[in-house]
Structure 1
Amino acid sequence: MSTVETLQLTLLDDDGSLRRIALDEAPAFARPSGPLRSRVVFAAVHVVPRADGDNTPGAPADIDWDATSAFRRTMWSRGLGVADAMDTAQRNMGLDPSATRELIARTARGAREALTDPEIAAVFPEGAQVRDLVVAGVSTDQRSEHQLSLDEIVEAYIEQLQATEATGAGAVLMASRHLARVATSAAEYEDVYRRVLEAATEPVVLHWLGTAFDPQLEGYFGSTDTAAGAETLLRIIAEDPTRIRGVKMSLLDDAAEIAVREKLPAGVRMLTGDDFHFSHLIVGDGTGTTEPGAEQAPGEYSDALLGAFAATAPAASAAVQALDAGDPDEARRILDASEELGRHVFSAPTFHYKTGVAFLAWLNGHQQAFTMVGGMHSARSLPHLSRTVELAATTGNLEDPALAAERWHAMLRLAGYDLEDATGASA
């Protein structure tokens, strides 16, 4: 990347001091010319609220549907699938059940329309269907009661499952807070999942969300011991692997993911949700691809379903293109840079990572204002956001550096900072 000498970025450090760095041009990440072949990748995306809407804490989500839909089209244009109505979309943190159902329906409809666009259809396999472009979260959160019986949990899951399948979207069975509260054994988890899976008409993705993302899910799959929980998950899959499209593990534990990945039945994908370690998990165990089109064995790598890729879609697409071209080193270089940004965005408290995703979407011009449903844009400090924009700049994840600098500098001025007080720039 060449340096734009006249463009600088002013940053705010933890001690309140300002400093400047030189701002580089955006990397020339090419859009794919055909379908991504080496990995299946879904970006878990956020929702864009109306800038003039009432998105105060506790209010129903007031969503800018045009901007929200347009953001999803940017994912598809890069050859990435969309994972919607999941925790990145503020599920259980501002996205209410009514808005959730409308979001899934709108995104599925948008995917159907996208498949009629020759440019987008060209970057997905021939014969692709809506469920190849979008998967959506299915849970039990439409029930407001704190406690539900196991039978009621099954009914709530199936209600959402049927509504999602009716749109054409693929289903992701999310971890249920209701189930975490009432299940007393691994056997009860197995029974609930068996009954829900029997109702599915298409293979689903199972989602294991760790406590870093949602502390209310402690002990999911019947144990606080990860290895024991993994055995329960594997038994659920083994009962009928044809009903399982993949597993999304979001434990921020790469060793645990690899251990499960190696035991998955043929045809069941591991979709990493590990925003701390995705680079080596996606590229694989070191064997890489030796020539264009060469393939690794299924247990040697993870596919992806990542919130981090909502913020780094051009880089994610470029990395898979590099794998397709037989260049795992280049893929690793790109993903390592994005992972550095991801580790900061997803730093503790990890469940507030959504603020960083929305912030980067604003910096990159995908939404009018830095706002979030439930007022969650206030969940990170200014120095934390400053480090976010710095890492986005230095890892090549600002799509329009000049726009990002303009917006970030305006935010600093609004907070009362005089940018003339910043110390000199580094090259």
Structure 2
Amino acid sequence: MTLHLPDAAGGLRAYEPRTEPFAAATGAPLASRTVFSAAHVVADPFADASPDAPAAVDWDATLAFRRHLWSHGLGVAEAMDTAQRGMGLDWPGAAELIRRSAAEAKAVGGRIACGVGTDQLTDRDPGRSAPVTLADIRAAYEEQLAVVEESGAQAILMASRALAATAQGPDDYLEVYGHLLRQAAEPVILHWLGAMFDPALEGYWGSADLDTATGVFLDVIAAHPDKVDGVKISLLDARREVDLRRRLPNGVRCYTGDDFHYPELIAGDEQGFSHALLGVFDQLGPLAAEAVRVLDTGDAAGFRALLDPTVPLARHLFEAPTRFYKTGVVFLAWLAGHQSHFTMVGGLQSARSLPHLARAYELADGLGLFPDPKLAEERMRTLLSLYGVTS
């Protein structure tokens, strides 16, 4: 039955929903690439919580979604920005998420890596007058690193808003990261998140000039290559990622976080390729896993044929302001039947417009991402009716 979807111009357009989903089988872990999906959290829709209150999480639905990702052979990147770290999920909530998800990963044999940051500095005392020091930042990182290592998960050292605000230059980054890498029990993933994902991270690594910042980033890695499993690059700049990838020490992996250019970066070239740690794989997971299994056979063209058509959806979800991509991710999870509601921690379900969500539905439906297209259509109709679309 025809749906009438709103567009950015204020009108309605007719759309015929797809009737058959993309058929993606579950399977063993992937062989030629290491692929993590950064996973979202499912809010408790019945919690009486205000947007600035601690997150109320539906743990059963949240963990069920992670089992879904593991069933397709993907790893889970936990407590990252996709899980609304710093945008609704505070450190106590993230710590509980890490412990629960790591225990679930151990139970089902799934791969998991978890975000380590410094967000408890503002969580604990948002009105503090004393300036944050580098010692405070080191201690905050250490507290979170201990939680992740005690859970048995791999650590991802995330970019720190506090460090970006406090550091006086590259030497401060070299000191803080060097301190953390020396004490890490196992090799970690270093995460460089661009300012388009979080404006508070502008000038990370001590310079707003990306060439200079890249040099500092590489200096951190070169000083401790045995403690760096890989680096996650989220700058939405394929050329820069390829250049950095070619300059990494032997044995240090590049995990693309580029939600605009991931097919070409994962496919690679004659000088190498990127692995993946992507927020967009939250919803593309089954299709992405199928594509990588094709790549495992050496069929790069078949891999691109499956994954290239997903890029328009990814670019739409991550359009500016990019930090609100989580709204589209959770919206699609609701349409796909992975949760019973479209509610987000921090009230972030209101962060994207109805035309934006309608276009996300259209693009996802066209790819066959909804296991039950009829359910997705019914839920889309419900949303449209709430906004006054009755035709």
Deviation beyond 3 Å, 4+ runs, structure 1: 7-10
Alpha-carbon separation, structure 2, partners of 1:215 and 1:378: 20
Q: Tell me the residue number matched to 1:123.
A: none
1:8 CA drift (Å): 4.0
Alpha-carbon separation, structure 2, partners of 1:270 and 1:323: 17
Choose the corresponding residue for 2:381, options 393, 396, 409.
409
Q: Tell me the residue number matched to 1:227.
A: 211
Q: Secondary structure at the match of 2:17?
A: strand
Choose the corresponding residue for 2:21, options 9, 15, 26.
26
Choose the corresponding residue for 1:137, options 100, 115, 136.
115
1:336 CA drift (Å): 1.1
Q: Secondary structure at the match of 1:181?
A: helix
Alpha-carbon separation, structure 2, partners of 1:307 and 1:380: 17
Q: Would the aligned equivalents of 1:9 and 1:22 in 2 still touch at CA under 8 Å?
A: yes
Amino acid at match of 2:161: R
User: What does 1:27-426 correspond to in 2, within 5 Å?
Assistant: 27-32=22-27, 34-115=28-109, 133-144=111-122, 145=125, 147-285=131-269, 299-419=271-391
Stretch of structure 1 that moved more, 248-257 or 397-406: 397-406
Q: Would the aligned equivalents of 2:148 and 2:154 in 1 still touch at CA under 8 Å?
A: yes
Alpha-carbon separation, structure 2, partners of 1:347 and 1:213: 10
1:65 CA drift (Å): 0.1
Superposition TM-score, scaled by structure 1 size: 0.88
1:17-65, Cα deviation, whole Å (9 max, x unpaired)? 2222222211112222x33101100000110001111343101100000
Alpha-carbon separation, structure 1, partners of 2:52 and 2:81: 17
Amino acid at match of 1:330: G
1:169-207, Cα deviation, whole Å (9 max, x unpaired)? 110000001100011111110011000111110100000
Amino acid at match of 1:327: D
Alignment length (residue pairs): 384
Q: Secondary structure at the match of 2:26?
A: coil
Q: Secondary structure at the match of 2:231?
A: strand
Q: Would the aligned equivalents of 1:49 and 1:61 in 2 still touch at CA under 8 Å?
A: yes
Alpha-carbon separation, structure 1, partners of 2:50 and 2:292: 39
Q: Would the aligned equivalents of 1:84 and 1:137 in 2 still touch at CA under 8 Å?
A: yes
Alpha-carbon separation, structure 2, partners of 1:305 and 1:51: 28
Alpha-carbon separation, structure 1, partners of 2:49 and 2:238: 36
Q: Secondary structure at the match of 2:341?
A: coil
Listed as ranges, the gaps of 5+ residues in structure 1 are 1-6, 116-129, 288-298, 420-427
Amino acid at match of 2:218: L
Amino acid at match of 1:23: P
Listed as ranges, the gaps of 5+ residues in structure 2 are none
Q: Would the aligned equivalents of 2:115 and 2:155 in 1 still touch at CA under 8 Å?
A: yes
1:16 CA drift (Å): 3.1
Q: Tell me the residue number matched to 1:295.
A: none
Amino acid at match of 2:202: E
Q: Secondary structure at the match of 1:399?
A: coil
1:316-344, Cα deviation, whole Å (9 max, x unpaired)? 10110110122111211221122211000
1:47-105, Cα deviation, whole Å (9 max, x unpaired)? 00011113431011000000000000000000000001110000010001111100000
Alpha-carbon separation, structure 1, partners of 2:376 and 2:364: 10
1:143 CA drift (Å): 1.6
Alpha-carbon separation, structure 2, partners of 1:41 and 1:54: 36
Alpha-carbon separation, structure 1, partners of 2:309 and 2:50: 35
1:123-145, Cα deviation, whole Å (9 max, x unpaired)? xxxxxxx6xx1111101111225
Alpha-carbon separation, structure 1, partners of 2:49 and 2:310: 30
1:392 CA drift (Å): 0.5
Alpha-carbon separation, structure 2, partners of 1:370 and 1:220: 34
Alpha-carbon separation, structure 1, partners of 2:3 and 2:315: 21
**C-alpha RMSD over aligned residues:** 1.3
Amino acid at match of 1:28: A
Stretch of structure 1 that moved more, 58-67 or 328-337: 328-337
